Structure 1
Amino acid sequence: MVLQQEPTPFVSVSGEERIMTSMMQELPLDPAKLNRVGNPNRAEVRKVRTLFRWILGSDPHPTPKQMTVIRESILSGDPLADAVVAMYGRLPAGEGRKLLDQALEHGIDTVSDAPAELRSLFKQIDHEPIWLDRELLRLGCEVSYRVGISGELVLRNMSLMGGYLAGAAAKPLVFTGQLDRMANRRLVETGKFWMDVNTPGGLERDKEGFKSAVRVRLMHAQVRNMLVKSDSWDMRWGYPLNQWDSMGTILEFSVIFLTGLRALGYLFSRREREAVVHLWRYVGYLMGVDERILPTNEQDSMRALYHLIATIGDSDDDTRRLGEALANASLQGREGWLQENIGKLEYTLRAGYTRYILGDEAADKLGLPRTLTKYFWPAQAPLRMGAELVRKATPGSNRMLMWVGEKARKNAFPEQVKKLKADTTFTPVKKLFR
């Protein structure tokens, strides 16, 4: 049975009041009918619970009321962005996006007779939260620059791969073909977003990081609108690109990112870890994640990560399909004997890292080959840790590593965009829907 639901209608007070937060909207399905929420009391969660209890100093297990919030979040969209997409539908094709771009580039007050939906969205994103610390934003960006290509390894082969283990959460990618049909191209487009928001100063109101966060938010709302109107979407999987999965994505870029790097031997101070979490807290705010489920610090983020792990749903055929497609991206676009063999080595090393960091059971579900390269990564960790100790003791080393990381990005990224003809405007392509 397929259950369909139109996006939550726009709710306005005096024309411009903020739309009610997503968890207050009428749910499209009885939460008890969701088939994607794992039982947090199942046996395989017990070891993880013990580990997180030790990390946090308290029991992170979700209470019954927290489970209610989780289920409601899985059935909640982003009313502010969803309302803007509904507004797009009332205007000539392309006109809504033009209004959005004008407001992003020049401010909402420059839009003549701006629709109430657009004003409500910009009232939220133009508001600077009282908790925002721009020095922490800068430090979070510097950490991401400093780790160089290791950051890409972790994001791709731990964060993204791990996200595919929840079959229902990965459905939007499968339906839009974003990674199973055009893996390398979509990786470049995701890389554009990551680079924009991680550039020091990039989240200032007039910079690309801020604009990219908002454009990705609206792209998600457009995909969500298309999926809930399709005949193929089953609401028992949850709302597509819902609040809970969006919060999980923020964790993928923050504490999961840091965990994967630390497993490689990287060292971070407490302030550096908090800075990365703070950076992605603000990105999450701009992207419409409800502040009531958006972690405020590293401790909150680790507790939320446990909740994600404890309630993750079953893997399915789409898990394997996406895992294999992402792994095979290393083999694509290789010309000549040397490049082909470099691609095979990269494929094996990346698969080994996923096995090392996520475990053999998860890697099997993702369709990754069994390889001894999983032992390479822990073996090199002591050497990396030694290099990190030297870095910490050497004045100016952080600045040098940041310069190297920035130069590598600026040199490689435009060439990748050109080669793959990647769209970095964050516009969904309807024809990709299966």
Structure 2
Amino acid sequence: MAAFTEASMNALRHTGDELADATVATLFERGEVGKFNTLMRYVSTAGAPLPDGLPDVAREYLEATGAPPAWVDWGEMERARLFFIDNNVHIATALSFASMPACYLVPHVAKLLSASHGLAYPSKRMAETGQFTVHLMQPDAFEAGSRFIPAAQKVRLLHASIRHHLKREDRWDADALGTPICQEDMIGGQMFFSMLVLDSLHRLGIHMSEEGADAYYYAWRVVGAMLGVDQEAVPGSLDEARQFLDLYMLRHMGPSAEGVHLTRQLIDLYEEVVPGTLFDPIVSALIRHLVGDTCADWLQVPRTSWDTLVKAVPHLLGVMETIEDRSPLAAWALDRVGHLTTFLELSSLTRGRVMHYAVPEQLRKEYDVSGAVPRTRRWVPPSATVAGRPTD
């Protein structure tokens, strides 16, 4: 089992993504960013011919990153897809009410997120995350005609462009924070969307097999590789993921004005999605239930009358899962409801738009930083690995 220490984590703070960074730097040097963004709006499916006039450096990047890693186990990816189908609503809930708030609990990440997407369209990042995950879990995600690979290629360039801006404009304290969107933070993000999602499903009382949990985590390792994350530095198992995530959060989590602001936007967004106002408090209550009182207080998540009621959710979901297990018809119906719920939620978030993940030509001016998976053994999250910060 790999050992993650303060020293090993510090080393990850000084590395970005060499291929994407070089591509973006060349695009900016040659003044080709606008042309790239315009032409890339037409590149939305894998295997489609690249448009004429695309800058050479961009064409080389897209050709080099247009296929998944050679080491992918396709049987494991199929198990991950079936796990997603079986749990799509629960996964969407975990992404919305645990993974995104967790990002806001890391002050330098919250500050960066507040700088890199428009506050006038606060659902943009949630829509991007939702679409990205849905594209990933399609049966043809890595085949010609899929939308996942182009989305991954664009997100990787988006991250590189943010690094480029912050470094070029001297708006990032590299001595204190290392490289913006560094390997440690990218691995941390991979943990938020994999390990933390599984933790949240367990907290909601969802029955997961060990095979299903392992496969879902594996799928995000494939995603991370395609986003430029060094998989040699990534936890190889859920036990190692627990160790990394514990240490990462102990190193960085805390309150921040940006974290509070982004959380307020998230709550407002989902209160708009929920019909009427009667059930609005359940949004705050779910966040508080999934991230815990200390973190919720840091994010200034309101306490509501639903805080106690929401603790009954695992019992309700347990009853639904028992019905699903015993009745093929009920399983089919609940899966269809899950599919429709996810679809309607995404439609609301995107307002009917397709997320294009364009390379930003500038950042906000005010920013400154100095079939179900077989249910064999039920998965239980690995225990916490640290009570305090480990030493070397």
TM-score, length-scaled by structure 2: 0.81
- With over 3 angstroms needed to count, the CA separation of the structure-2 counterparts of 1:118 and 1:315, relative to structure 1, is farther
Q: How does 1:54-203 map to 2 (within 5 A)?
A: 62=4, 66-89=5-28, 90-97=30-37, 98=39, 105-106=46-47, 115=56, 119=60, 122-123=63-64, 126=67, 128-130=69-71, 132-178=72-118, 180-203=119-142
239, 248, 258: which is aligned to 1:299? Answer: 239
Counterpart for residue 308 of structure 2: 375
Q: Give the CA deviation at 1:243.
A: 1.1
Counterpart for residue 356 of structure 1: 289
Please tell me the residue identity of whatever aligns with 2:69. Answer: E
Contiguous gaps of at least 5 residues in structure 2: 367-392
213, 221, 225: which is aligned to 1:273? Answer: 213
Q: Does 1:284 align with 2:215?
A: no
Contiguous gaps of at least 5 residues in structure 1: 1-57
How many corresponding residue pairs?
Answer: 362
Counterpart for residue 355 of structure 2: 424
Q: Give the CA deviation at 1:428.
A: 4.1
- With over 3 angstroms needed to count, the CA separation of the structure-2 counterparts of 1:327 and 1:189, relative to structure 1, is same
Q: Does 1:322 align with 2:262?
A: yes
- With over 3 angstroms needed to count, the CA separation of the structure-2 counterparts of 1:317 and 1:415, relative to structure 1, is closer
Counterpart for residue 154 of structure 2: 215
Distance 1:61 1:373 in 2: 40
Distance 1:109 1:428 in 2: 17
Deviations 1:262-290 (A, max 9, x none): 11111011110011011111011100100
- With over 3 angstroms needed to count, the CA separation of the structure-2 counterparts of 1:74 and 1:204, relative to structure 1, is farther
Q: Give the CA deviation at 1:416.
A: 4.5
236, 253, 269: which is aligned to 2:193? Answer: 253
Contact (CA 8 Å) 1:88, 1:95: kept in 2 or not? no
Distance 2:217 2:14 in 1: 25
Please tell me the residue identity of whatever aligns with 2:6. Answer: M
Distance 1:432 1:137 in 2: 36
- With over 3 angstroms needed to count, the CA separation of the structure-2 counterparts of 1:93 and 1:210, relative to structure 1, is closer
- With over 3 angstroms needed to count, the CA separation of the structure-2 counterparts of 1:285 and 1:372, relative to structure 1, is same
Q: Give the CA deviation at 1:333.
A: 7.9
Deviates more, 1:406-415 or 1:266-275: 406-415
Q: Give the CA deviation at 1:91.
A: 5.0
Higher relative contact order (CA 8 A, sep 6+): 2
Contact (CA 8 Å) 2:13, 2:182: kept in 1 or not? yes
Deviations 1:201-242 (A, max 9, x none): 323364111221111111111122112222432222332222
Please tell me the residue identity of whatever aligns with 1:139. Answer: R
Deviations 1:315-366 (A, max 9, x none): 32222222222222234589xxxx5525xx23x1121122222222211110
Counterpart for residue 277 of structure 2: 341
Distance 2:234 2:161 in 1: 22
Distance 2:90 2:298 in 1: 24
Q: Give the CA deviation at 1:370.
A: 1.5
Q: Give the CA deviation at 1:67.
A: 2.3
Counterpart for residue 385 of structure 1: 318
Contact (CA 8 Å) 1:169, 1:237: kept in 2 or not? no
Q: Give the CA deviation at 1:104.
A: 7.2
Please tell me the residue identity of whatever aligns with 2:277. Answer: N
SS in 1 for 2:123: helix
- With over 3 angstroms needed to count, the CA separation of the structure-2 counterparts of 1:75 and 1:118, relative to structure 1, is farther
Contact (CA 8 Å) 1:197, 1:212: kept in 2 or not? no
RMSD of aligned Cα (Å): 3.1
**Sequence identity of aligned pairs in percent?**
22
TM-score, length-scaled by structure 1: 0.73
237, 241, 249: which is aligned to 1:309? Answer: 249
Please tell me the residue identity of whatever aligns with 1:246. Answer: M
